[in-house]
Structure 1
Amino acid sequence: MDLALAPAAMPLLTGLDDRPLFTYYDDATGERTELTAGALGAWAARTSGLLRDGCGLGPGDRAAVLLPPHWQTAAVLLGAWSAGVTVSFRPAATAGLPVLEPGADEPLDATFVSAARLDDWLEDVPDAHHRFVLGLAPGAAELAQVPGGYRDYLAEVLRHPPTPPAYGLIRGTDPATVDGTSFHEWATVADGVAARHGIAEGDRLLVDAAEHEQPVVWLLAPLLAGASVVVCANLDRSRLAERQRREQVTRVL
């Protein structure tokens, strides 16, 4: 499968079968959420509809994604890219990979931020015309209280259909991130990450979210390689061997 276009990726997600593609654990809450390619594609399609139809955004517009590794983060990134919206993100630095700061001299078009990080980053969250907050709670629960000036991502995204919108094809030469890096260029980076870690087609990759916040590692590289991924937040390493066995993990990062 060619990820040169498909970080934008409705074709990538809808072209796969219904085996698990993305599994998320949080050992602090006991959450386990499993998504097939079709389910992740549906969430990405809803996010694309939220941005294109709900916010009037599209190619040339910019969004900051200030979220940790999570299945909803995957939906936001893939949905933004499928809408043609470029993104910035600020994960912890990963050796040899770029960190895209979300700061801008003028307001961005959209910002997605986790409720848990909002207080810590309040002074650094860039101004945006559309601001969404994500609780990232187990069971995709909506926020009990939404911070002023923000909208609850889950409440808004579920207003949009789970089918890919009929937008124009995103080209590999189009920018994927706010610094102008194209989908082709990010695919090359992701391919290098997959090769460096030995991630191959059919692998089941377990990723410690605290060690790898960079989306290229926990999302794009596995998808490019044709692998599925198990992302673990607050990983309890005493459970690692059992989890590898249960999830049929073939590689650990």
Structure 2
Amino acid sequence: MADNIARVFADAIASDPTRPLLTWYDDATGERTELSGATLANWVAKTANLLVDEVGTAPDEMAGVLLPPHWQTAAVLLGCWSAALTVVDAPGPVEVLFTAVDRVDEAARWSAGERYALALDPFALPMRQVPAGCTDFVSAVRGHGDHFTAYPSGGAGDAALLARAEARATELGLAPGDRLLVDVTRHPDPVDWLLAPLTARATVVACAHPTPTHLPARAETERTTHTLT
């Protein structure tokens, strides 16, 4: 059984880094963003480098993530796991905290060494107004390196997360080369929309606030093989 999320991610994109790995839709905003494995890996590396070089994190420290499903959330989560951090979403002391701008008040109840805010802009544009006490994640992460050498051992929670993901992939019948369309509004757990496909070496079409009548055509256009709605 795999016990290192960074290694699972690297293996998932190794055969063809150019293929679409994560395609993101938000029917509430009309957004569509497609990331190849190479593009997502670039964001993940920048995030991990920010954590290690700027924040100064060490393996098994805690990262708080108060973010909804989103392609930028995938980069944050995989960056944290690449830096061997343990990701939590319940209040407590953490080394670093990533928060959506609409959850800044909730984030204020956390004890955190560094705080990064995400507007989750469709084009990953910097924020014009950054919440007090936070740093704009997009502006901060862009200055970091495009490559990161993950730790040989994963974080303390990697094995349990990957065990859940492998079980979920089996339940969904995912296999290498499959493509999963998932309603992330109903299934916000990253095990469903991120880790299960990665463990199976499948790709994902993640849909927020999906319009039900749009899904059949989207499944055909995106050539999905499995659906989780």
- Report the TM-score when normalising by structure 1: 0.84
Of residues 90, 94, 114, the one that matches 2:100 is 114
**1:141 CA drift (Å):** 1.4
- Please list the CA deviations of residues 198-243 of structure 1 after superposition, one character each: whole Å capped at 9, or x if unmatched: 2222111011111111111110001001110011111111211111
Distance change (3 Å), C-alpha of 1:153 and 1:142: same
Alignment gaps of 5+ in structure 2: none
State how 1:22-171 maps to structure 2 within 5 Å.
22-89=22-89, 102-104=90-92, 107-119=93-105, 121-122=106-107, 125-164=109-148, 166-171=149-154
Q: Distance in 2 between matches of 1:25 and 1:158?
A: 23
Q: How far is the alpha carbon of 1:12 from its aligned partner?
A: 2.8
| Structure 1 ranges of 4+ moved more than 4 A | 7-10
2:168 to 185, 189, 193: 193
Other structure's SS at 1:133 match: strand
Does the aligned pair in 1 maintain the 2:177–2:203 contact within 8 Å? yes
1:6 is matched with 5
**1:210 and 2:185 matched:** yes
- CA distance 1:197–1:143, shift in 2 (3 Å): same
Give the number of equivalent residue pairs.
227
Higher helix residue share: 2
**TM norm structure 2:** 0.93
CA RMSD of superposed structures (Å): 1.7
Q: Does 1:248 align with 2:223?
A: yes
Aligned equivalents of 1:3 and 1:163: distance in 2? 22
